[in-house]
A and B are shown apart, each in its own frame.
Chain A
Amino acid sequence: MKKILFVLGLASLAACKPNLKVDPPNANGVDFSSYVAVGNSLTAGYSDGTLYRSGQINSYPNILADQMRIFGALEFKQPLMPGEYGFPKAKLVLGYAQSPCDTSPSLSPVPFSGLIDTAGSATNIADQGPFNNFGIPGIRAIDFLIPGYALAAAASGFPYAARMFNNPTVRPLDELKLKNPTFFTLWLGNNDVLGYALAGGEENPSFVLDTRNISNTNSFINGYDSVLSVLTRTGAKGVLLNIPDVTSIPFFHTIPANGLPLDTNSAALLNSVYASHPSIRFHVGANYFVVEDPAAPGGRRQLKPNELVLLSAPQDSIKCYRWGSAVPLPKKYVLDSTELSRIKEATTAFNNHIASMSVSMNLPLVDANAFLRQAITGITFNGVTYNTEFVTGGTFSLDGVHLTPRGNAIVANEIIKAINAYYKSTIPMIDIHKYGGIRFPM
């Protein structure tokens, strides 16, 4: 009997293996051998408010390059940081923080306090190149035409171009000319409007190149087209990504405009403080923050429902020192409706140009703007719904602007979909859950 069972068992094992066949990936003639990614911090793998090694390793271009390797792509070189601490600032991690008026600590992003492994981060590593990842945190489309950009950026806290350029005195465009890609992705222009938004719309018209200004549309077009013509000069194929509406990222919609909860006593107290400002009134429950506004009577007013409070607004001051109520929030922490419509206008203008270049240059377009809008309500992959909520949404890292590794993998999948649809190739989709999300403390 045992023998029979044993034989049956052996036969079973052999017969009972399913054999689904997988078609081998097909590049359909597209040459992925030398892939170059051009862009800003999103392309560089900037995450949690800084640049660190594993963030770079999980950048969407590097994830994408992994898939292209199936077709015999050459090495995808990135200007990797030596360590995990973050450079120049420490990365943010989830931890416990306590404001001076809190009785107990609560879960929130705090600066990483582990080993400082940044030695050598500022050293120029151009001789380790040429780098395939030409993502430069902070760079705008208009910066590609500025000689000495790398040095100027380093002086204002963005040392990344200076680290990887062969010659920091030339234009970034000249540095880009050293590369001969067969395939490229271009995700550029975010910072041409994001800098203004991050500054709460506090621009500096006296200095045209100030990063707090929205780029002039013609200058944007000039910079963008110059980059594109360099990338396509030897017939490389590629993909364009447009600019998501920056105000849909967690940095701008985590703190609600009416994020001031009041009880009977504090509402009454504030109403007495503002007795001489009849337009500013408080009640029990959720109240709109008070913000500086030179145009309003007394130089202050309450926020309106469509206005946005930035994640950079100091929480301790709001909680403990009555910022946003007795003390008006400084303007730089708020985007008012005028500022929001300027952001929208510029984003539309830049995206219209990117769309027209996609048509005229015969390049597929990833509509990152539409995708992010869809992500606000949530997009489900393999059993997990991702959205744009801060921390909980799973896509945005702890700086509220840049992506988690999973967010990057989702972007890489959108790029793959666009490539496969346009070039009729079959690059395998990525298992996004192979990559990490936000990490919670023990």
Chain B
Amino acid sequence: MKKHALITTALLLFASMTFGAGFQVNVQGLRQLAMGGTGTGWMWDASCIFYNPGGLARLKNIQAYGSVHFLMVNTQYVQTPTGGYSARSKPGLYTPFNVYVGGRLKQDGKLALGLGVYTPFGSGLKWDDNWEGRYVVQSISMNAIFFQPTVSYKISDAISLGGGFIYAIGNIKLKQAVPLQDANGNDGYGELKGHADGVGVNVGLHIQPSPAFQVGISYRSQVNMKVKNGDANFVVPAAASSSFPNTSFKAELPLPQVLSVGVGVRVMPRLVLTAEANWVGWKAYDTLFFDYETNTSTLTDTKAPRNYKNTLALRLGANLKASDRVALMAGLAYDPSPVADGYVSPDLPDADRWLVTGGFSVKATNKLTIIGAIEYGASKKRDAEYIPANFNGKYQTKAIIPSIGLSYDFR
């Protein structure tokens, strides 16, 4: 009998993870969120540190702004072609949060400073440990928190610009079953956990030709989130344990660059309409690698192809000042998927999605505003394949995100 090599090489160990577009959560400032996610054109509050740092110098005073989001995602899978199997993801709650502090240093000055701490990526998906796709993914989660000190300068009454340096930290965690069964028939599994960090910039230009018309352009660079020393742990039958040593790993997850152009028009004294386009450079994100410190014939470094395409998301929003204290917001967005047919993985199956948003704000005092927003997103039903794992099915994801926040003006 061949003494060695009794363990299969036939695993796609973590090679099938995509860390797809679904991890991007466009939940930042709540008024903007409630207006279909438009925030690049019209400046409202300190969350422009995220949407368009060029607009920070338009803030008359220092503002502190905080929000928290309750992201609930549900995904359903139905096997194709015959639908003999279906599964629903386990309910999960993710809570991206954002804090922005900033504004003009002097009320009639030109220079503004600020700091944003926000969560542009933060989601996950958990399937039952014994579901049909367990050798592709059992659970996955990822979050990234960006720290962005920001400077903005008002060149003239019409034009301001700004920029910030991004330092990002994050966590990734994923779990996959290993097709080696113990004497009781239980699968093994592998778990990867790691801290990541990376750097980038966020710059913007804001133009206000008239009080009723605003235009903005912003650019957020790609941020390469590097995992330098993650933990790879394996639970497999003892007979196979030497093939799956617990070790450390390196990985790199590029978060894509985003170029945004937005406009806002005050069409009536109480009504502002906004429109925005976001070009997202997903294409750079074409492979994901895992580099293990200790390699064996079964634990080899992996490089997974994803073949992403760049996308253009379109957003529309409205803000209606209902009274001196209360405003109502509504919006609509279309966010196409960067994932090409044939590469839709169950780790966070991605599809074109429609978002409907709404919200309200209440000016509780002269300084304090309370904002609530809700986003509802439903992906198109996607008949999809994941070619590297030969895993096929139909997916739909629905997400609902209620959010709450406060802003406080120091004046």
Residues on A facing B (Cβ under 8 Å): 1, 4-5, 8-9, 11-13, 15-20, 22-23, 25, 67, 94, 97, 106-109, 254, 315, 378-387, 389-394, 416, 420, 426-431, 433-434, 436-442
Given A20-B86, A67-B84, also A380-B389 (CB < 8 A)? yes
- Bound complex: CA A97 to CA B376 (Å): 60
Interchain CB contact under 8 A, A428 and B84:
yes
Output the least CB separation between A42 and chain B (Å): 22
Residues in B with CB closer than 8 Å to A380 are 12, 388-390
Name the residue in A8, A20, A391, A439 with the highest tally of chain B Cβ atoms < 10 Å from its Cβ. A20
Chain A residue, CB-CB nearest to B238: A442
- Other A-B pairs beyond A15-B376, A16-B398, A17-B88, 19, CB < 8 Å: A9-B70, A18-B76, A18-B88, A23-B83, A97-B1, A106-B1, A106-B3, A109-B1, A381-B390, A382-B132, A383-B133, A384-B12, A393-B8, A428-B84, A429-B81, A431-B84, A437-B179, A437-B181, A440-B239
**Stretch from B150-158, B160-168, B314-322, B399-407 forming part of the interface with A:** B399-407
Residues in A with CB closer than 8 Å to B1 are 97, 106, 108-109, 315
Residues in B with CB closer than 8 Å to A431 are 79, 84-85, 132
Given A22-B86, A380-B390, A430-B84, also A16-B74 (CB < 8 A)? yes
B368 within 8 A of A: no
Residues in B with CB closer than 8 Å to A315 are 1
- Bound complex: CA A4 to CA B402 (Å): 10
Interchain CB contact under 8 A, A392 and B7:
yes
Interchain CB contact under 8 A, B10 and A433:
no
Chain A residue, CB-CB nearest to B15: A383
Residues in A with CB closer than 8 Å to B237 are 439-442
Interface size class of B (residues with CB under 8 A): 35 or more
- Bound complex: CA A11 to CA B132 (Å): 30
- Bound complex: CA A231 to CA B135 (Å): 40
- Bound complex: CA A433 to CA B237 (Å): 18
Residues in B with CB closer than 8 Å to A18 are 74-76, 88, 378, 396-398
Q: Find B185's partner among A16, A390, A439 (CB 8 Å cutoff).
A: A439
Output the least CB separation between B84 and chain A (Å): 3
Chain B residue, CB-CB nearest to A319: B1
Q: Find A384's partner among B10, B76, B185, B236 (CB 8 Å cutoff).
A: B10
Interchain CB contact under 8 A, B132 and A387:
no
Residues in A with CB closer than 8 Å to B399 are 16
Residues in A with CB closer than 8 Å to B372 are 4
Chain B residue, CB-CB nearest to A420: B82
- Bound complex: CA A378 to CA B5 (Å): 17
Given A20-B78, A431-B79, also A394-B179 (CB < 8 A)? yes
Residues in B with CB closer than 8 Å to A442 are 182-183, 237-239
Interchain CB contact under 8 A, B10 and A1:
no
- Bound complex: CA A13 to CA B70 (Å): 12
Residues in B with CB closer than 8 Å to A8 are 70, 374, 402
Chain A residue, CB-CB nearest to B241: A440
Interchain CB contact under 8 A, A427 and B82:
yes
Q: Find A382's partner among B76, B182, B390, B394 (CB 8 Å cutoff).
A: B390
Residues in A with CB closer than 8 Å to B83 are 22-23, 25, 428
Interchain CB contact under 8 A, B9 and A392:
yes
Chain B residue, CB-CB nearest to A405: B185
Chain B residue, CB-CB nearest to A259: B2
B240 within 8 A of A: yes
B134 within 8 A of A: yes
Chain A residue, CB-CB nearest to B372: A4
B266 within 8 A of A: no
B391 within 8 A of A: yes
Interchain CB contact under 8 A, A385 and B10:
yes
Chain B residue, CB-CB nearest to A105: B3
- Bound complex: CA A385 to CA B134 (Å): 14
Residues on B facing A (Cβ under 8 Å): 1-3, 5-12, 16, 70, 72-76, 78-79, 81-86, 88, 91, 132-136, 176, 179-185, 236-240, 372, 374, 376, 378, 381, 388-391, 394-400, 402, 404
Output the least CB separation between A56 and chain B (Å): 17
Given A254-B2, A383-B133, also A19-B76 (CB < 8 A)? yes
Output the least CB separation between A54 and chain B (Å): 10
- Bound complex: CA A429 to CA B81 (Å): 8
Output the least CB separation between B87 and chain A (Å): 10
Q: Find B398's partner among A1, A15, A97, A254 (CB 8 Å cutoff).
A: A15
- Bound complex: CA A23 to CA B390 (Å): 22
Output the least CB separation between A192 and chain B (Å): 30
Chain A residue, CB-CB nearest to B392: A382
A-B contact pairs, 27 of them (CB 8 A): A9-B70, A16-B72, A17-B398, A18-B75, A18-B76, A18-B398, A22-B83, A23-B83, A25-B82, A25-B84, A107-B6, A109-B1, A380-B388, A380-B389, A380-B390, A382-B136, A383-B16, A383-B389, A384-B11, A384-B12, A385-B11, A386-B10, A389-B8, A392-B7, A433-B135, A439-B181, A441-B182
Residues in B with CB closer than 8 Å to A381 are 390
- Bound complex: CA A1 to CA B78 (Å): 38
- Bound complex: CA A97 to CA B75 (Å): 47
Given A4-B372, A20-B86, A442-B182, also A394-B75 (CB < 8 A)? no
- Bound complex: CA A25 to CA B85 (Å): 12
Interchain CB contact under 8 A, B10 and A12:
no
Output the least CB separation between A88 and chain B (Å): 24
- Bound complex: CA A431 to CA B135 (Å): 12
Residues in B with CB closer than 8 Å to A378 are 10
Output the least CB separation between B373 and chain A (Å): 10
Name the residue in A5, A94, A382 with the highest tally of chain B Cβ atoms < 10 Å from its Cβ. A382
Interchain CB contact under 8 A, B389 and A436:
no
Residues in A with CB closer than 8 Å to B400 are 11-12, 15-16
Closest 5 CB pairs of A and B: A428-B84, A383-B135, A440-B237, A18-B396, A385-B10
Residues in A with CB closer than 8 Å to B180 are 440
Given A18-B74, A107-B6, also A384-B402 (CB < 8 A)? no
- Bound complex: CA A436 to CA B237 (Å): 15
Interchain CB contact under 8 A, A394 and B84:
no
Interchain CB contact under 8 A, A392 and B5:
yes
Name the residue in A4, A380, A390 with the highest tally of chain B Cβ atoms < 10 Å from its Cβ. A380
Interchain CB contact under 8 A, A428 and B5:
no
